[in-house]
Structure 1
């Protein structure tokens, strides 16, 4: 398999696709295409396997299968290796995990717009808009419910690391970068995600990247 991703410092969707690939346990080749560079423009205009993505990342190639969109990649991999590797076994917990992932996939536009992912940056003096504050409160509420109802088996949202943590890992990065104040339970969860060996590997590579995208280096 091959996984095409963008810059590790900035690309939140790439992080989700990459974590999904790691969670699958399958081996894959990692191909980085710097966002907004010449390769990025070529990816947008290329015919063939990448055409359905419209130049977006991540993209998974698996023999003749081409899968774009991070959630589609996660589900494709879950079909290959067994869904229990990604989702809670308990039906009630699984229903909540699926709902949280779907909401993360489609919502929180204010948070995304005001707090672009920048793994290696720490912003001083960030004040969220009311819409962004509501996104943050919604996320913290979901984290609290998942942890209290289903998190007894470990430090992650549903105990063990899974699809929900894959999807909220970039949020953890954003909360750290923009120094969002969170309650103790959330800080403990964020620490568990941040210190996960896969996140540490991603962070280490992002810190060594040479690319800088200026629009993501200042508070808008």
Structure 2
């Protein structure tokens, strides 16, 4: 059987690639990383939020080509059921899909105001007012999930699709030095200290600075 290949772009800038990579790690999939060249037009369009659809991350496995983060999560959940990418309980599973879908399709103001940049740190960053409702909504989702399922992850003791979907937001909140209440700050720190997340962040920190225009065009 051919080894799985996950195509990604930048580890420092691509929130979608981080999500897909985390899901592959959660599934226990043995995969090879294929890095899309940073000068690839599609990669640059995605990283600059100029693309109508995101084609990375993309997984090639067992003769199938899977792209889009939610599709990737669903595929891995079906292929590796023991990984429990979704909760066992149907009500929790439905809730998980709902908050993951909301993250997948929404929060555009947050994405624009707080672009992914793991290597950077902006103390006392002034958040654009248009992004504040998005930030408030994210925190409301976190508080609700932590209250319902008891933490330390959003749906209980083990990470699920929802944690992978919100992991880049935790990174953004750290990069831009957002002040959070103790419950949300605790969840942010839980995700940032999660082993696969820490592994990704370490790789991002040594990634060459090849897209200087990101600082201006986001």
1:174 matched residue in structure 2? 172
What is the total number of aligned residue pairs between the two structures?
207
Which runs of no fewer than 5 residues in structure 2 stay unpaired?
Answer: 45-51
In the TM superposition, residue 42 of structure 1 has moved relative to its aligned partner by 8.1
| Cα distance in 1 between the residues matched to 2:102 and 2:143 | 16
Q: Is 2:9–2:43's contact at 8 Å kept on the other side of the alignment?
A: no
2:21 matched residue in structure 1? 18
- Alignment partner of 1:157 out of 154, 160, 167: 154
2:32 matched residue in structure 1? 29
1:108 matched residue in structure 2? 107
In the TM superposition, residue 114 of structure 1 has moved relative to its aligned partner by 1.1
TM-score for both structures, normalised by structure 1: 0.87
Alpha carbons of structure 1 residues 16 and 73: separation in structure 2 relative to 1, 3 Å: same
Root-mean-square deviation (CA, aligned residues, Å) is 2.2
**SS of corresponding position for 1:123:** coil
2:49 matched residue in structure 1? none
**SS of corresponding position for 1:181:** coil
In the TM superposition, residue 219 of structure 1 has moved relative to its aligned partner by 9.2
In the TM superposition, residue 124 of structure 1 has moved relative to its aligned partner by 3.5
Would you identify which runs of 4 or more consecutive aligned residues in structure 1 move more than 4 Å? none
Q: Is 1:8–1:15's contact at 8 Å kept on the other side of the alignment?
A: yes
| Cα distance in 1 between the residues matched to 2:216 and 2:121 | 10
2:139 matched residue in structure 1? 140
1:183 maps onto 2:181 in alignment: yes
- Alignment partner of 2:6 out of 3, 8, 21: 3
Alpha carbons of structure 1 residues 7 and 158: separation in structure 2 relative to 1, 3 Å: same
Once structures 1 and 2 are overlaid, which stretch shifts more, 23-32 or 121-130?
A: 121-130
| Cα distance in 2 between the residues matched to 1:198 and 1:71 | 19
Alpha carbons of structure 1 residues 141 and 83: separation in structure 2 relative to 1, 3 Å: farther
Q: Is 1:118–1:217's contact at 8 Å kept on the other side of the alignment?
A: no
In the TM superposition, residue 41 of structure 1 has moved relative to its aligned partner by 3.5
Q: Is 1:118–1:216's contact at 8 Å kept on the other side of the alignment?
A: no
1:210 matched residue in structure 2? 208
Provide Cα deviations, 1:134-182, integer angstroms capped at 9, x if missing partner: 00000000100000011x2x41111121111000000000111011111
2:94 matched residue in structure 1? 95
Q: Is 1:124–1:179's contact at 8 Å kept on the other side of the alignment?
A: yes
1:47 matched residue in structure 2? none
**SS of corresponding position for 1:214:** coil
TM-score for both structures, normalised by structure 2: 0.88
Which runs of no fewer than 5 residues in structure 1 stay unpaired?
Answer: 45-52
Alpha carbons of structure 1 residues 54 and 146: separation in structure 2 relative to 1, 3 Å: closer
Q: Is 1:126–1:219's contact at 8 Å kept on the other side of the alignment?
A: no
In the TM superposition, residue 89 of structure 1 has moved relative to its aligned partner by 1.5
